[in-house]
């Protein structure tokens, strides 16, 4: 059996990972999901998550967690001290993350016991931060080998103990060739164990349909954070209005920047053109992609990494793309052929590119068709999940031998 460790399951974000889990489940792979946080409450989950809830393990209630942790300390004081010391020492350069790293140790003790009872042979952590720290702790307790996936801020920003984790892991999966090169530079002696597997998309589910697109609608989606550049997108729409365009904008998502974005919309008198409808699960996001004239994401370089899934999904749904040129995006988009790149924090350039696409449907169609061709070639979920199945089957078979 395989164990996946995640921050929380299910989540509003990480739709790509949910697609992978669904594909692994449909392939017949035997796995259990371990969620470091309790089950979410109060918001709608992706429908694809429901079949996986009965194979998800959550941490025990706090009193039981404390009791188990104290028991572990009493039985193995030196080993526990060594684990805590390793985590503390590994976070010297990032003390702000230390408290959270230590907080997952009790969950790790509980999960270790459960995994041994279930006969888990291999652990895979999704995200290189706290899930992989938990996998490391469980490995030290049980000897069960682990691997992990690293994607974005978890390897480029919150990178405490990253080199040690690469050294300990049987293998590492990342989602772009650029990321792989970065990780290989961190631990060059282990470069051969770092593998690139793109985030795949369900091509039939996202395929364009015959419904006419809204000819003036710009779509974006994601957590409402500064790094997404949504404020620049709103300002670009104001510029388009001032140039005589009747462009509209919809930004799907929720986050801490909602109030600031709403204030910006009011200050620019865009209430009739810009909408923030909130979070939408994946099954409701797909029709939005199909309806949009263009999908845009003017994300900031210093806070955004990998290939944003909104761009893969938008192209899969047949929409042209306008975005900033993040480091990994050359693996998906060629400027002028499968999308348009714009400078970051430049609403005027963003308005120029969006206006170009809105004014020329033939140009938009050509960009979208070439973009979808690239997604079909490199980001087909059937292919990426099949690669993951082979990888995880080999890992569990190795431990059974």
Count H helices, E strands: the chain?
17, 13
Q: Which of 337, 316, 320, 361 minimizes the C-alpha distance to 209?
A: 316
Instruction: Give the pLDDT confidence of 156-208 residue by residue, as tens digits.
Output: 988 899 999 999 999 999 999 999 999 999 999 999 999 999 999 999 999 99
Res. 137: pLDDT tops 80? yes
Where does the pLDDT of residue 42 fall: very low under 50, low under 70, confident under 90, or very high at 90 and above? low
Record the tokens describing residue 273, joined without a space.
């053109």
Q: Are strands 321-324 and 248-252 parallel, antiparallel or unpaired?
A: unpaired
- Please state the φ and ψ torsions of residue 248, each to the nearest 5 degrees: -125, 160
Record the tokens describing residue 230, joined without a space.
């949504």
Instruction: Give the pLDDT confidence of 207-246 residue by residue, as tens digits.
Output: 999 889 999 999 999 999 999 999 999 999 999 999 999 9
Q: 2-200+381-400 is classed in which CATH architecture?
A: 3-Layer(aba) Sandwich (3.40)
Three-state SS at 65 = helix
Instruction: Give the pLDDT confidence of 340-383 residue by residue, as tens digits.
Output: 999 999 999 999 999 999 999 999 999 999 999 999 999 999 99
Res. 401: pLDDT tops 60? no
Q: Which of 61-65, 146-150, 373-377 has the lowest mean pLDDT?
A: 61-65
Q: Which of 132, 165, 197, 118 minimizes the C-alpha distance to 392?
A: 197
Signed CA dihedral, 37, 41, 44, 50: sign only: positive
Q: Which residues, listed in sequence order, are joined to residue 174 by a DSSP beta bridge?
A: 150, 196
* Residues whose CB falls within 8 Å of the CB of residue 245, separated by 6 or more in sequence, listed in order: 216, 355, 358
Sole residue written with tokens 């931060």:
129
Please check whether residue 148 is in contact with residue 173, taking contact to mean a CB–CB distance below 8 angstroms: yes
DSSP per-residue string spanning 272-338: TTEEEEE---HHHHHHHHHH-SEEEE---GGG--S--HHHHHHHHTT--EEEE--TTGGGT--BTTT
Q: What is the pTM of this model?
A: 0.90
Record the tokens describing residue 4, joined without a space.
């996946």
Neighbours of 128 (CB within 10 A): 28
Cα separation, 206 vs 372, whole angstroms? 10
Cα separation, 15 vs 11, whole angstroms? 8
The pLDDT score that the predictor gives to residue 359 is 97
Q: Which residues, listed in sequence order, are joined to residue 332 by a DSSP beta bridge?
A: none
Entry field: residues in the chain: 401
Where does the pLDDT of residue 43 fall: very low under 50, low under 70, confident under 90, or very high at 90 and above? low
Record the tokens describing residue 371, joined without a space.
């973009």
The pLDDT score that the predictor gives to residue 115 is 96
The pLDDT score that the predictor gives to residue 302 is 79
Angle between helices 77-90 and 62-75 (to 10 degrees): 110
User: Do 2-200+381-400 and 203-378 share a fold?
Assistant: yes
Mean pLDDT rounded to a whole number for the chain: 92
Cα separation, 206 vs 318, whole angstroms? 8
Three-state SS at 235 = helix
Mean pLDDT of 299-304: 84
Q: 203-378 is classed in which CATH architecture?
A: 3-Layer(aba) Sandwich (3.40)
* Residues whose CB falls within 8 Å of the CB of residue 66, separated by 6 or more in sequence, listed in order: 106
Mean pLDDT of 280-306: 91
Mean pLDDT of 134-155: 95
Res. 60: pLDDT tops 90? no
Domain boundaries, the chain: 2-200+381-400, 203-378
């Amino acid at each position: 059996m395989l164990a996946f460790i995640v921050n929380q399951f299910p989540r509003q974000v990480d739709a790509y990972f949910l697609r992978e889990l669904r594909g692994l489940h449909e392939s017949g792979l035997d796995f259990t999901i371990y969620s470091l946080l309790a089950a979410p409450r109060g918001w709608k989950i992706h429908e694809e998550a429901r079949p996986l809830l009965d194979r998800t393990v959550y941490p025990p209630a706090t009193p039981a967690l404390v009791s188990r942790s104290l028991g572990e300390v009493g039985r193995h004081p030196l080993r526990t001290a060594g684990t805590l010391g390793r985590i503390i020492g590994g976070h010297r350069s990032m003390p702000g993350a230390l408290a959270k790293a230590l907080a997952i140790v009790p969950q790790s003790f509980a999960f270790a016991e459960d995994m041994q009872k279930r006969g888990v042979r291999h652990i895979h952590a999704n995200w290189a931060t706290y899930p992989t720290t938990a996998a490391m702790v469980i490995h030290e307790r049980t000897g069960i080998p682990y691997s992990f996936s690293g994607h974005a801020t978890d390897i480029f920003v919150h990178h405490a103990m990253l080199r040690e984790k690469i050294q300990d892991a049987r293998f590492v999966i990342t989602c772009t060739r650029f990321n792989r090169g970065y990780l290989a530079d961190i631990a060059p002696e282990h470069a051969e164990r770092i593998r690139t597997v793109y985030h795949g998309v369900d091509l039939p589910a996202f395929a364009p349909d015959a419904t006419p697109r809204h000819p003036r609608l710009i779509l974006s989606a994601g957590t409402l954070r500064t790094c997404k550049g949504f404020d620049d997108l709103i300002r670009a729409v104001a510029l388009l209005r001032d140039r005589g365009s009747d462009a509209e904008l919809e930004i799907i998502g929720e986050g801490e920047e909602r109030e600031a974005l709403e204030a910006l919309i009011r200050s620019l008198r865009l209430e009739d053109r810009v909408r923030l409808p909130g979070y939408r699960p994946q099954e409701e996001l797909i029709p939005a992609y199909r309806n949009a004239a263009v999908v845009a994401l003017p994300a900031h370089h210093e806070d955004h990494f990998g290939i944003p899934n909104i761009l893969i999904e938008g192209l899969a749904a047949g929409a042209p793309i306008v975005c900033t040129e993040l480091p990994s995006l050359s693996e998906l988009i060629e400027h002028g052929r499968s999308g348009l790149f714009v400078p970051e924090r430049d609403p005027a350039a963003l308005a120029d590119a969006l206006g170009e696409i809105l004014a020329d449907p033939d140009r938009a169609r050509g960009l979208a068709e070439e973009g979808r061709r690239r997604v079909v070639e490199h980001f087909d979920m059937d292919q990426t999940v099949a690669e993951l199945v082979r990888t995880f089957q080999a890992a569990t078979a190795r431990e059974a031998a």
